[in-house]
Amino acid sequence: MTYLTPLFGPFVTAFLLALCLTPPVRALACVAGVLDKPSPRKLHDRPVPLLGGVALYAAIGGATVFFAPPAPGLLGLVAGATLLLLTGLWDDTRGLSPGAKLLTQGVAALLALAGGVSISVLPHPLLNWGITAIWLVGITNAFNLLDNMDGLSAGLAAISAGTFAILAARYAEVGPEQLPTAVAGAAIAGASLGFLRHNLYHASIFMGDAGSQSVGFLLAGLAAYGSWRSPTLPTSLLIPLLVLAYPIFDTTLVTLLRWRHGRPLTLGGKDHSSHRLVRLGLGRTETVLLIYLFALTHALTAALVTSVTLRLALIALTISASVLFIFGMVLRKVDVYGDGGGALGGGLQPALRKEEVIPGEQTDR
C-alpha cells in the first residue's frame, strides 16, 4: 500500500483548506447577497449562501499546485476549470442561459484538448478529440444537475476522485500522467470532504454552478487524462464509466423521462433520482447516503476491473448495468410531474407544476 503515500499530502492539504476557507467564503456570500433563495421548485426553505465553489476551487488548486509535478494535461484542465468557475459565478449571481453555459463548457473542453487531454480509442485524432469533448461537456453537466440535494454532488465527487486517485497511484508506472492524475484526484477528494462538513446536513452553503461545473469538469478530465491499467483496452475504458456511473445514470434518466413527457430538457425541476427517492418516502439524508452506496459499489467494481479478465469485467459491468436499469425502472414510475404518468409516490408531496419551473436554471436544489 506504499503507492498511497503520494496521496496523503494533497488529500490532507485540500481537506484542511476547504474546511477553513468555506466559512469566510460563506460570510462573503452573505455580505454580497449571493444567496440561493427558496422557491416552490427547490427543497430548502431559507436563503442559503452560494460561492462554495470558490472555496473548493482554491483548496483543489492550492493542493494540486504544491504537490503535483508539472503536466501539460493538468494545465489544460485548470484553464478549463477556471473558465467554468468564472462563468459559474456569473450564473450564480446574475444568471446565464443554457446556451451560453453550453458554449463555455465547449470552450473549456477545447482548452483541455489543447493541453493534451484526450481519449485514445478511435483510429483518427479528430474522432478522439470529438468524443473527448462530448465526454467533458456531458460529465460537467451531469455533476451540475446532481447538485440538487445537500451533500449529494460533493459526496459523489469525493468518491469518484478518490477512486481515480487510488487507481492512478496504484499503476503509476503506466505513464507520466499517472502521478499528476493521482495527486489531482486526491486533492479533489480532500477538498470535497472538507466542503462536505458544511454542506451535508442542513447545508450552510451551496457550491453553486461555479463549484459543480468546475469540479465535474475536473473529474471528467482526469478520467480522460489518466491511464487505467487493465488486461485489454475495452476493460480499461469501462473504469471511468463505472466510477462516474451514477452521474451518467441520473442525467440519462432525467433526459429520457423529460423527453417522454414532452418537457424541455434544459429546465430545472424536482424530477431527478434523488427527488424521486424522497417522493417514495426516504428522508433526504437517507437518499443521499443510498446514492453514496451506489457510487461506492461501482467504484469497487471499477477497482476489480483493473485486475480481472475481459470476461469477468464484462460480467461485472452487466451486473452493475442491470442494477441501475432495474433502479431506473422503479424510479420512472414515481409521479413527479403531477400528470398521473407515474404510479408511485403520487400522494407524498405536492407535484411540481409547470409554471413553477424557472427557465434557464439547471441547478435543481
Please give the Cα distance from 304 to 298 (Å, whole number): 10
For the entire predicted model, the pTM comes to 0.89
Q: Please check whether residue 328 is in contact with residue 253, taking contact to mean a CB–CB distance below 8 angstroms.
A: yes
The radius of gyration of the chain's CA atoms, rounded to the nearest angstrom, is: 19
Residue 360: predicted pLDDT: 37
pLDDT over 90, % of the chain: 59
Place of cell 460563506: 26
- Give the mean model confidence (pLDDT) for residues 74-102: 92
**Residues whose CB is less than 8 angstroms from the CB of residue 226 and which lie 6 or more positions away in sequence, other chains included:** 164, 167, 168, 177, 178, 181
Tens digit of each residue's pLDDT (9 = 90 or more) over 164-207 = 999 999 888 888 889 999 999 999 999 999 999 999 888 899 99
- Give the mean model confidence (pLDDT) for residues 263-283: 86
Residue 344: predicted pLDDT: 60
Phi-psi region of 122 (alpha: psi -120 to 50; beta: other; left: phi over 0): beta
Residue 351: predicted pLDDT: 36
Position with higher pLDDT, 357 vs 145: 145
The H-assigned helical ranges of the chain are 5-32, 52-67, 72-93, 98-114, 125-146, 152-170, 178-196, 208-225, 233-243, 245-260, 273-279, 284-305, 310-331
Place of cell 461545473: 213
Confidence of residue 356 (pLDDT cuts 50, 70, 90): very low
Tens digit of each residue's pLDDT (9 = 90 or more) over 24-60 = 999 999 999 888 877 656 666 678 998 999 999 999 9
Tens digit of each residue's pLDDT (9 = 90 or more) over 204-230 = 999 999 999 999 999 999 999 988 766
- Give the mean model confidence (pLDDT) for residues 89-117: 93
* 51, 99, 286, 323 from 187: Cα distances, Å: 19, 31, 27, 31
Confidence of residue 152 (pLDDT cuts 50, 70, 90): very high
pLDDT over 70, % of the chain: 89
